[in-house]
């Protein structure tokens, strides 16, 4: 006979490790944020109440970074969803060499972020990089992609979109493949055009996948670190400094662990809030195929 506690025992080692690596650090971060621990205190933690938090609220660099991070995440994820859907639709249609195309499409996502960021540094280089060479060939002036504080963030977004769209595309492709072909065929028989099919059938049925991709990417994008550290180092003039980078700098360069923890915790709350929001907004249960026939009438 089955003993339910035996299966719990099986889960124990893995869950124990997870608790140590996830829960305990989160607790630590919470604790640290309420303490001063920096060079000033001789690197020893000293409780200082909400002082770190008060500093956070007044820290304009924090809020600038938060604005950038949010902007970055929203624009990045938005573009990735649109582009990802297009790519997924493209990959969905049967064609020769589809496997190879999928593999190639996957490449940007599979490669290490720092490696790609390094590559993009040269691509964006002013004036010698290939993009500027292209501009010059078109008789346009060279652009400082990574040197103008107002627009650099867009090019960081581009690099991120290039890397992460394949993941979204794959997810949406899985969703497309789970839609029975008969549904589309039946709509086509009723005279619906491509756009209509997309709008009335494909997108509603794809909603759970879109939600999954959105939630996943949103959380990851809000924690962007690799890209900004290697590509721009947070510049120019801190305009592309993400919250994660700020927390890292506070800890590793300024050795202010207490404040770093505070930034981390604030970022975590932001991530939690936004992913929850995204999930709640899009969480309509996907219509069943039978229900969709009703939709199509």
Partner 1 sequence: MRALLLLWSLAPLLWQLYSSLVTPEALVDPQAVAAGGFWTLSNYRQLLEADPPFWRHLFNSTVVGAVSTALTLALAIPCAYGLQQQRGSLRFATVLALLAAAIFPTVLLFLPLLQLARSLGLGNQLLALSLPYIALNLPLAVLLLRAAFADLPADLEDAARLEGLHQTARLRHVLLPLLAPALGSTAILVFLFSWNEYPVALTWISRLELLTLPPAIARIAGSSLFTVPYGAFAAATVLGSLPLLLAVLVFQRSIVNGLTQGAVKG
Residue 47 binds partner 1 (CB under 8 A)? no
Shortest Å, Cβ 297 to partner 1:
28
Determine the interface stretch with partner 1 among 57-65, 101-109, 183-191, 194-202 (rule: CB under 8 A). Answer: 101-109
d(CA 242, CA 166): 23
Tokens 């990574």 sit on residue: 146
Q: Which of 51, 70, 79, 106 binds partner 1 (CB under 8 A)?
A: 106
Give the total of residues touching partner 1 (CB under 8 A): 87
Q: Which of 111, 255, 273, 295 binds partner 1 (CB under 8 A)?
A: 111
Structure-block tokens of residue 125: 């280089």
Q: Which of 39, 46, 47, 104 binds partner 1 (CB under 8 A)?
A: 104
How many residues are there in the chain?
Answer: 297
- The 10 Å Cβ neighbour count of residue 263 is 28
Residue 84 binds partner 1 (CB under 8 A)? no
Shortest Å, Cβ 292 to partner 1:
18
Shortest Å, Cβ 283 to partner 1:
13
d(CA 168, CA 96): 22
What is the DSSP-derived secondary structure letter of residue 173?
H
- With respect to partner 1, which residue has the nearer C-beta, 119 or 236? 119
d(CA 48, CA 37): 9
State which of positions 202-221 bind partner 1 (CB under 8 A): 209, 212, 215-216, 219-220
Which residues lie across from 47 on neighbouring strands?
Answer: 35
- With respect to partner 1, which residue has the nearer C-beta, 166 or 187? 166
Structure-block tokens of residue 194: 């491509």
Pairing status of strand 46-47 against strand 35-36: antiparallel
Structure-block tokens of residue 140: 């346009």
Work out the end-to-end distance of the chain between its first and last CA atoms, rounded to an integer number of angstroms. Answer: 52
Residue 7 binds partner 1 (CB under 8 A)? yes
Shortest Å, Cβ 155 to partner 1:
13
Shortest Å, Cβ 60 to partner 1:
22
Which residues lie across from 35 on neighbouring strands?
Answer: 47
Residue 225 binds partner 1 (CB under 8 A)? yes
Half-sphere exposure of 267 (CA within 13 A, CB side): 29
Residue 34 binds partner 1 (CB under 8 A)? no
SS3 145: coil
- With respect to partner 1, which residue has the nearer C-beta, 186 or 220? 220
Residue 255 binds partner 1 (CB under 8 A)? no
- With respect to partner 1, which residue has the nearer C-beta, 253 or 297? 253
């Amino acid at each position: 006979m089955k003993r339910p506690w035996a299966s719990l025992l099986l889960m124990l080692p893995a869950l124990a490790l997870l608790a140590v690596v996830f829960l305990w650090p989160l607790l630590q971060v919470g604790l640290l944020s309420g303490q001063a621990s920096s060079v000033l205190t001789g690197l020893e933690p000293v409780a200082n109440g909400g002082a770190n938090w008060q500093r956070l609220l007044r820290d304009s660099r924090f809020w600038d970074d938060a604005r950038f991070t949010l902007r970055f995440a929203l624009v990045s994820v938005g573009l990735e969803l649109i582009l990802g859907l297009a790519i997924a639709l493209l990959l969905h249609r049967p064609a020769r060499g589809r496997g190879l195309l999928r593999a190639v499409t996957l490449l940007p996502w599979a490669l290490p972020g720092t490696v790609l960021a390094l590559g993009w540094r040269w691509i964006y280089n002013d004036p010698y990089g290939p993009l500027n060479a292209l501009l010059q060939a078109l008789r346009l002036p060279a652009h400082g992609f990574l040197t103008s504080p107002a627009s650099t963030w867009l090019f960081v977004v581009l690099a991120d979109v290039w890397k992460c769209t394949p993941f979204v595309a794959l997810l949406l492709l899985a969703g497309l493949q789970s839609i029975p072909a008969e549904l589309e065929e039946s709509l086509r028989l009723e005279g619906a055009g491509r756009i209509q099919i997309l709008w009335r059938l494909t997108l509603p049925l794809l909603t759970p996948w879109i939600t999954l991709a959105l939630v996943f990417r949103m959380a990851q994008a809000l924690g962007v670190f690799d890209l900004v550290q290697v590509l721009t180092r947070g510049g120019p003039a801190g305009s592309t400094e993400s919250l994660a980078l700020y927390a890292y700098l506070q800890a590793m360069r300024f050795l202010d662990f207490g404040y770093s923890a505070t930034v981390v915790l604030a970022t975590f709350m932001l991530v939690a809030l936004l992913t929850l929001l995204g999930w709640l907004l899009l969480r309509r249960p996907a219509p069943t195929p039978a229900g969709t026939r009703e939709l199509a009438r």
